[in-house]
Structure 1
Amino acid sequence: RDKLSGVPAAAVAGVEQELANLDKQIEEANARLAAQAANPQGGANFIQNAILGPLASKRTAALDRIGININRAGGQRPNLASLATCGLNTPGTPSAVNGNSGNAGNGNAGNNGNAGNGNAGNNGNAGAGVAQRVNCPSVADRLPAVPAQAAAEVQRELANLDNQIADANARLAQLAVRPEGGANFVQNTVVGPLKDRRVAALNRIATAIGRVDGNRPAELVNLAPCSVS
């Protein structure tokens, strides 16, 4: 986002959609890294070949679409190709996203950081109103000791929670460009459904832990509600 300037009004919706796509691509890659941390596979080049390489290809396509949108609307097509390649941060270092910098679900691989909230998927705006974002309670730091037999399933669900937040923030980014609905639209179509999905994921985490040691942390569902700011 900070490499873009003078986005024509006619290109804003398309550019905003692709910025949200770029954030979602990062979320998906971080979820895959979380799964890899929980259940390592492949050789020395597995992460490059299976995660970073495909991510660069997807980013190249999205960046091309941004350039095409701007050029089609009469603006000067920016040279964004050099932004396609990504590397790996050290554990706990946030990924940049297309708003005010944020977590994008990075945190420690598979550790859910701040449940992917922070500014995950917060796309600010490419020329319209500033996008809202969801703020959700962190989960990883509220878990009891996770039995080794439950670790892989718990990591998958923590990654699911991050992906859910990314989806909600992408929807909020679209609403910043193309508002719709009434006063309760965000609550009814974004925040409410997000809570339901989080309840399901949190219940699966509790069940995975309880299945192994018999101590099911039922209070995790209290972490389901999110707010919007």
Structure 2
Amino acid sequence: MIGYGYGLFDPTFILIIIGLVISLWASWYVKHNFNKYNQYPSQRGVTAKEAARFILDKAGLSNIQIKQIQGDLTDNYNPGDKTLNLSESTYDSTSVAAIGVAAHECGHAIQDQKNYVPMRVRSAIVPAVNLGSNASFPIIILGMVLGMNHFLITIGIWLFALVVLFQVVTLPVEFNASRRAVNILDSGDLLTSEEVPMVKQVLFAAALTYVAAAISTALQLLRLILIFGNNRE
């Protein structure tokens, strides 16, 4: 598809490069901040697992299990089976960064408990988004193979737009979870007042990865519109 409608040089490819640069920078930035504050053991000496258990129990979520999973920064909350999954680099760590990550995932569990609307919307559109993610480009390619079938190409672009929608809906979910985490940790039960700003840096960097993903995906959508809109004209 590169170069289509523009001869040998496709000026829209710069959009892909911009998105890639933004994503790589965001990935580096979150790892840089996590590694930096992962060197600071919390003064109260609690592990991320213990901090998560404390937060969940205090929120009335003692039914949620905490599990260790493989990977580095693969932490997540699963609303399906009500489990909070902490990665190997987080689970037993007493670092300020690890506690911040665990608190963030607890924020998602609290969102689930309180039926936070953006989280419900995101969960509701997952099937459609999966369809869009898997089928959009095959349908666009099929449309090109069938002599530039604009109906199929338009369907493919709309399906890809669902992926962009998902990325956008994810933003308030992630920022709200981080805000809940900071408010919880700011109470002083788990971290000192000097350590909370460190957590803010880690969670802000993590949130930027979602912003970068949304921008990168939106740029891909814009490129598709430019390429095929130009050809239609």
Question: Normalised by the size of structure 2, how large is the TM-score?
Answer: 0.32
Larger radius of gyration: 2
More helix as a share of residues: 2
- The structure with higher relative contact order (CA 8 Å, sep 6+) is 2
TM, length-normalised to structure 1: 0.33
